[in-house]
Each structure stands twice: as structure tokens, then as C-alpha cells.
Amino acid sequence: MSGRLDIVIVGGGTAGWMCAAACAAKLDPRRYRVRLLESEEIGTVGVGEATLPQMKDFNDFLGLDEREFMAATQASFKLGIEFVNWGRQGDRYIHPFGTFGRPVGEADFFSYWARANIAGTAAPLFDYCFPIVMAKADRFMLPNGNPDDVRNAFSYAYHLDAFLYARFLRRWAEARGIERVEGRIVDVERDGEDGRIAAVTMASGARVAGDLFIDCSGFRSLLLGQTLDVGLEDWSHWLPCDSAVAVPSARSDAFTPYTRATRRSAGWQWRIPLQHRTGNGYVYASRHISDDAAAAALLANLDGEALADPRVLRFKAGKRHQGWSHNCIAMGLAGGFLEPLESTSIYLVQVAIMHMLTLLPAEPAIDPALPAEFNRVLDIEYDRIRDFLILHYVANAADAPLWEQVTSMKLPDTLRDRIDRFRHRGHVPAYRDGLFGPTSWQAVFVGQGIVPQAADRLADILPDAVLAERLDALSATIAYGVQSARDHAAFVSDYCPAPAP
């Protein structure tokens, strides 16, 4: 084959088609041939409908038209996640895609809030955040690009139909030269010398050889896990939910511009509003509730008529020891899975794609520095997300066996350290890249009852009365700004109306 590097993507779920689309958009077809193999008979996992703002970056990177993409995937906007009953029963807070307040002099806004909170003169932290106040009013507007305007202090993500998203990307990628091969892979052939993957065999008998294989085969992890025997680093002792039951329901009047995650006795329930329906699921620890009881609890807590029978999915929290081994890179569920509480899986697919493109070998021989760098970056991303998710579990009332288990477990040292630092003076060490930024940590800490005992000394500079005045002025500005946002449902039906399914 003409000296081109032959890339074979195995799997056509969200991960496979995102990867294929990125290859179509960015790789020179004279140097790379890209094929995607998928089996309609096996199908996709069919969930994964809440995203992070980075998905907009990915779509922009491809050059997708936002309105077209949203209409094609029945999408709505997402300003954050509302957590209900986390911390204590009856509590609710929103983890926003935006910032709290504005920096004042040397210190960040949070330090001033922490100081006023200790003095008893602050409103709840969440009142000082534009996207939260807008979300609670069920309103939406696009950021206006003016860095001085509080109405610009947010980003947004999407709720989308996972099946339609993969279909949309497939059309897009095939139109740009990606070759799709339909059929089930029944055998994987390894090179006798160095153990790399040489080819896969389809049920039809066709043999598909390649230089680089991208494993997007879902939980099966057909190439990386099964063939190359790269094991899973098991984190289920920290993240004990191992099952989910999912069901779509009829769209309800509550067309919220946020995902809802409601804590339940053996896990939590998601609610994701789309244009044509609402996605729902109960993520649970099977040790603490049966599948039937979980399905019954889910069906009893829908806000619209169920549109299908509940479907059970199994998983284990963890990541593969190496996401790139030999000539195989895993993306999506084939590379690992951390439960969907913070909608991080599609983001991790995106991170893997961006690093694959950056580190892509130019020839079949692979410099070991490339997988080493890929694995280093992905490990960091997974570790940080893991800690952030565990925080949601640990900061709760121990009001049921699952919650007794997780509130008394030994934490990773990295998370223990973060909690201690935050309690001390509200410090949240920031990362240069990746998830999650200080606002996210502050939201979950404070939302679940962990507040700083003292404030950063840099926030001493304003006199009490001036600080109180500024806080009042800020919440008034935010409340006023929200009035210029539109009803979310009306905004979506004007901006990106989806055809009836």
C-alpha cells in the first residue's frame, strides 16, 4: 500500500466515530489511510448523553456547525450539574461551568467569600455565579465575549442523544474519506516477532491488516485488554457503583439547562433533558440493591412516561494499566471507565484523540517515547478525575449501607491532602491543563458541606463594609444579567430545532 500508515479503528460507538472524525479532519490522506470496523449486530453501549464544555472545543476543532450538530443530535444546553441530596438529604447545589464572582486585587473571589462566610455576612456561594443563577431560572444565553461582563463568565456543554451523535459523526467522517467496514471481528492476529497486532479477521473471512490499531471496542476491550492482555487497574474499592439501569422518558415541562444527579440509597439517579425525550438512569452498587429494585426505584422517579423497558449495564471503575501498548491505542470504554457522575468519559475520549494526533507515528516502527508520553498524560487525567469523583462520595451523611461504606473508606493520599488544604484555608491547587479547575472543587466542597475554617490572608485587604457592599453589588449584577437570558426551551427551539424523531 503506497507507503501510507494504515490506521484501523475498531468500534463505531461515540469513541470510534469521534476518533474517525478527527482523523478525517486533520490527517493528510496521502500519508494516512483510516478505516473503521464496526458491528451493527453487537451495537454500541447506547448511553453517554451528558458532556463537558470541552466537547464544544472538539466540535470547533473539527469545524462542525453548532446548530446543525445540535439539531442532528436532539441536543440541549448544559450549564452544569445539579446535585440533589448530596451532603445531606434535602440539600441541592449546582456544579457550574463557570466561575464564582470576579477576582478582587491579589486574591481570588473565593477567598473573599470564605472570609465573609466566616464573618456571617455572605450569601450562599452559589448566588455569586452567573451560570448557576441562570440555570436555576431555566434560562440560557450564549456567552457574549466581553471579558468584563459577568454574563460572559461561563462556558457550556451539551446534552445529546449518544446514538445520533455517533451517526452524525459517521456521516461527517465518511463524507471526508473514512472507510467503514461492517462486520464482527472474530480473530486478532499478532506479529510473531514483537507481539504487535498485525491484523483482525472479520466474520466474513476478510482480513484487515494495519500499522496502528485504535481500540474503541467498548467494555470488551478487544485488542488492548483481550489480545494484548493489558489489565485493568481496579478502583472499585473507591468507586463501588458497578451497575446502571437506564430508561428514556417522554420530555417533560422541566427542560432544564443542566443535568440532575439525585443521590439515592444505593447510588444516584441521572436526568438528562433532550429535545425529543429525557434520559434517565440509576447508577448503583449491586452489593446494596438488586437490579429489579433499582429499576423499580428509577421508574418511580421519572417525570414523564417511560418510553422503553429499563436496560441494565455492568461496569467496573478503573483504567487500563497502559492506554497505549505496542501498536494499539485504546479510547473510550476500551481504555477505562469512571462512573458517569461528572460526565467525564467523552472528555477522556477527546483527550486520547488529541494526544494520539500529537504523538502519531509517521511510520510503522513506534518510538517508545510516544506511548510513554501518551500513558503519562492519560494516567494524570484519570487520577484527577478519580479523586474528584471520590470526593462526591465521601462528603455525605452515612444514611444507608453504601454511604456508610464510602464515608468511612481510606482515601487516596492525593485527595486526603486536597481536603485538608481546603478545610484549612480554602486552597485548591490548580492544574495547568485538564480536569477539574478550582471552581469545580470549590462547588463540590462547599455544596457538600466542607467549608474553609479560615480565609487566605491575601483576602484581608478589603475592609469588611466594602467587602459586604461588593458582594451585594455582585449578586445584584448577576440577577440583573440573568434577565437578559431567554427561556432555555424557547432558545433551543429557535436556535437548533431538531426534527421530530
Ligand X SMILES: Cc1cc2nc3c(=O)[nH]c(=O)nc-3n(C[C@H](O)[C@H](O)[C@H](O)COP(=O)(O)OP(=O)(O)OC[C@H]3O[C@@H](n4cnc5c(N)ncnc54)[C@H](O)[C@@H]3O)c2cc1C
What's the DSSP call for residue 291?
H
**CB of 314 vs ligand X, minimal distance in Å:** 8
What is the secondary structure of 130-175 as a DSSP string? HHHHHHHTTEE----S-TT-GGGSB--EEE--HHHHHHHHHHHHHT
Q: Which of 485, 58, 72 is nearest to 275 (CA)?
A: 72
Q: Which of 445, 421, 452, 451 is nearest to 86 (CA)?
A: 445
- Cβ proximity of 339 and 282 under 8 Å: no
239-251: burial string, b at 16+ Cβ within 10 Å, e else: bbbbbbbbbbbeb
Collapse the DSSP code of 20 into the 3-class scheme (helix H, G, I; strand E, B; otherwise coil) and give the result.
helix
| From 31-39, 82-90, 225-233, 447-455, span contacting ligand X (CB under 6 A) | 31-39
Q: Which of 425, 333, 436, 320 is nearest to 389 (CA)?
A: 436
Single out the residue of 5, 7, 8, 14 in contact with ligand X (rule: CB under 6 A): 14
315 makes contact with ligand X (CB under 6 A) = yes
Residue 342 known to bind ligand: yes
| From 19-27, 77-85, 218-226, 427-435, span contacting ligand X (CB under 6 A) | 218-226
Single out the residue of 59, 117, 217, 325 in contact with ligand X (rule: CB under 6 A): 217
Residue 201 known to bind ligand: no
340 makes contact with ligand X (CB under 6 A) = yes
Beta bridge partners of 158: 77
CA within 13 Å, CB half, 282: 26
5 makes contact with ligand X (CB under 6 A) = no
225 makes contact with ligand X (CB under 6 A) = no
281 makes contact with ligand X (CB under 6 A) = yes
Count of chain residues binding ligand X (CB under 6 A)? 37
Active site residue 410: no
Single out the residue of 8, 81, 346, 385 in contact with ligand X (rule: CB under 6 A): 346
311 makes contact with ligand X (CB under 6 A) = no
Q: Is 429 exposed, middle or buried (0-12, 13-18, 19+ CB in 10 A)?
A: exposed
Residue 467 known to bind ligand: no
**CB of 332 vs ligand X, minimal distance in Å:** 2
19 makes contact with ligand X (CB under 6 A) = no
Residue 423 CA to residue 440 CA, distance in Å, equals 16
Q: Is 232 exposed, middle or buried (0-12, 13-18, 19+ CB in 10 A)?
A: middle
Residue 12 known to bind ligand: yes
Residue 15 known to bind ligand: yes
Residue 206 CA to residue 37 CA, distance in Å, equals 12
How many CB atoms lie under 10 A from the CB of residue 234?
12
Single out the residue of 5, 7, 8, 15 in contact with ligand X (rule: CB under 6 A): 15
Per CB under 6 A, which of residues 42..81 are in contact with ligand X?
42-45, 47-51
Active-site residue, from 56, 78, 316, 319: 78
| From 39-47, 232-240, 376-384, 480-488, span contacting ligand X (CB under 6 A) | 39-47
Residue 108 CA to residue 284 CA, distance in Å, equals 37
Residue 346 known to bind ligand: yes
Residue 344 CA to residue 50 CA, distance in Å, equals 9
29 makes contact with ligand X (CB under 6 A) = no
Single out the residue of 222, 228, 239, 478 in contact with ligand X (rule: CB under 6 A): 222
Q: Closest CB to ligand X among 350 and 448?
A: 350
345 makes contact with ligand X (CB under 6 A) = yes
Q: Closest CB to ligand X among 48 and 225?
A: 48
Residue 191 CA to residue 433 CA, distance in Å, equals 37
Q: Point out which residues bind ligand X (CB under 6 A).
A: 11-16, 37-39, 42-45, 47-51, 162, 184-185, 216-218, 220, 222, 244, 281, 313, 315, 332-334, 340, 343, 345-346
> Could you tell me which residues are annotated as the binding site?
12-15, 78, 333, 342, 346
> Could you tell me which residues are annotated as the binding site for L-tryptophan?
342, 346
